[in-house]
Amino acid sequence: MSLRLSNALIVPLFLLFSASSVAQMPTPAAPIIGAKSYLVIDSKTGHEIAALNADQPLAPASLTKMMTTYVVFSALKQGHITLEEEVTVSEKAWRTEGSRMFIEVGKRVKVQDLLLGMIVQSGNDASVALAEHIAGTESVFAEMMNQHAVALGMHASHFRNATGLPAKNHTTTARDLATLSRAIIEEFPNYYKWHAMKEFTFNSIRQSNRNSLLWRDDSVDGLKTGYTEAAGYCLVTSAIRDDMRIISVVLGTSSIKARVDGSQALLNYAFRFFETRLLFKAGEKISNARVWKSEKLYSGLGVSEDLYITVRRGSYDHLKSQLNIPAIVMAPLAAGQPVANLSISLDGEELLQTPLRALDDNPMGKFWQRTKDTVSLWFE
């Protein structure tokens, strides 16, 4: 079907992109940090701000617990378990090596306490106890982890356990972990807040969150640390400043200081040189489409969800838009039906492309309207 450029967006988009008079800032390269891999994205848009070997499969260490957390949160949301129900601690969970929250074999512990022990204290014992409670065995739970990973689009990840303890072919990537971070933040906001807890006490033992950025930077509210000899020192961080949330994934540094300093540098870089703006609100009329043989001559077009864009700071005024509408749009139209395509570019590079949808139903017109439009289309 032939496409034509609609002039309907020239005025509103021009006004939108001219709202700020801030001069365009030069954008330097991202800071160099001692990591095997890293990725920095805007959480709302998914826009990639900086990256190094972001698709390289690496051992995730305790970052694995992010996927364990996601599976448990999903089970809670679906009503399969509750925060108050109790889990009987198995000998396997009790004996799990590495970091722990010090649960005792045979004792019953609430799901919420186990979650806090896993998220705040990075308890391997808590991770295994939750895995066994949900799936029967940790190996079956690992299959669930992989199924959720595929559903989220984490196609380069494969999990063998719930803890991140070394295992053959237990790998993920910085990109997949960024995808997982966005999912946790967006799907489970009420549970995500636990990642900001600086300490948790269980069985009269108080342990601090290993994410020291929670103390250094007030904008940081998550997510997870990790370390094994094979993985190195890793950190997934999320921070929010002025309604802009940044996710940073840093893998394979040489020390705790390196992962913290590197993550802080990447966060500061992202917030200093990039910004995320709202382009259009859901349901806002962006343009009109002429609809033939319809009850209403025109249908309003818009987006079904709030549309944001992440750009270099100061470049917002330089955005360009192009709206492509089919030469002939025929009735009937259903609300939400894609009709046109909106493209936003900067300096010749397309930044985003999204369909514009009918905001309301526009059914077939009466016989006389259909007949009139049929004749008009002969000349159109």
Ranges of each domain in the chain: 3-21+279-379, 56-214
Residue 1 has pLDDT above 50, yes or no: no
Which backbone phi and psi does 269 adopt, to 5 degrees? -60, -45
Mean per-residue pLDDT for 25-50? 93
Query: Identity (one letter) of the amino acid at 323?
Result: L
pLDDT at 25: 59
Higher pLDDT, 1 or 340: 340
Structure tokens at 107: 């004792």
Higher pLDDT, 115 or 27: 115
| Rg for the chain, CA atoms, rounded | 25
pLDDT at 366: 84
Return the minimum-mean-pLDDT range out of 25-29, 224-228, 294-298, 349-353: 25-29
Query: 187: burial class by Cβ within 10 Å (0-12, 13-18, 19+)?
Result: middle
Q: Which helix (H) or strand (E) holds 267?
A: helix 256-273
Return the minimum-mean-pLDDT range out of 142-156, 169-183, 282-296: 282-296
Write out the CATH class of domain 56-214.
alpha beta
pLDDT at 20: 42
Structure tokens at 276: 């995320």
- Cα 364 to Cα 10, 224, 374, distances in angstroms: 30, 55, 13
Q: Determine if residue 268 is left, alpha or beta; phi over 0 gives left, psi from -120 to 50 gives alpha, anything else beta.
A: alpha
> pLDDT digits over 341-365, tens only?
999 999 889 999 999 999 999 998 8
Q: Compute how many other C-beta atoms are within 10 angstroms of the C-beta atom of residue 370.
A: 14
Q: Do domains 3-21+279-379 and 56-214 have the same CATH topology?
A: no
Residue 18 has pLDDT above 70, yes or no: no
pTM for the model stands at 0.89
Q: How far apart are the first and last CA of the chain?
A: 15
> pLDDT digits over 87-119, tens only?
999 999 999 999 999 999 999 999 999 999 999
Distance between CA 45 and CA 178 in Å, rounded?
12
Distance between CA 287 and CA 340 in Å, rounded?
10
Residue 345, strand partner residues: 320, 350
Tell me which residue of 361, 360, 357, 362 sits closest to 303, measured CA to CA: 357
* Residues recognised as catalytic: 62, 65, 122
Residue 21 has pLDDT above 70, yes or no: no
Query: Identity (one letter) of the amino acid at 129?
Result: A
> pLDDT digits over 128-166, tens only?
999 999 999 999 999 999 999 999 999 999 999 999 999
What percent of the chain is predicted at pLDDT more than 90? 84
Averaged pLDDT of the chain:
91
DSSP three-state, residue 248 = strand
Owner of token pair 């990109």:
175
Mean per-residue pLDDT for 201-207? 94
The helix-helix angle for 138-152 and 124-135 (nearest 10°) equals: 90
CATH architecture of 3-21+279-379: Sandwich (2.60)
Cis peptide bond upstream of 223, omega within 30: yes
Structure tokens at 26: 């030069």
Residue 342, strand partner residues: 323, 354
Write the DSSP assignment of 27-91 as a string of letters. -PPPPP-S-SEEEEEETTT--EEEEESTT--B--GGGHHHHHHHHHHHHHHTTSS-SSSEEEPPH
Q: How confident is the model at residue 24 (pLDDT cuts 50, 70, 90)?
A: low
Length in residues, the chain? 380
Distance between CA 285 and CA 312 in Å, rounded?
27
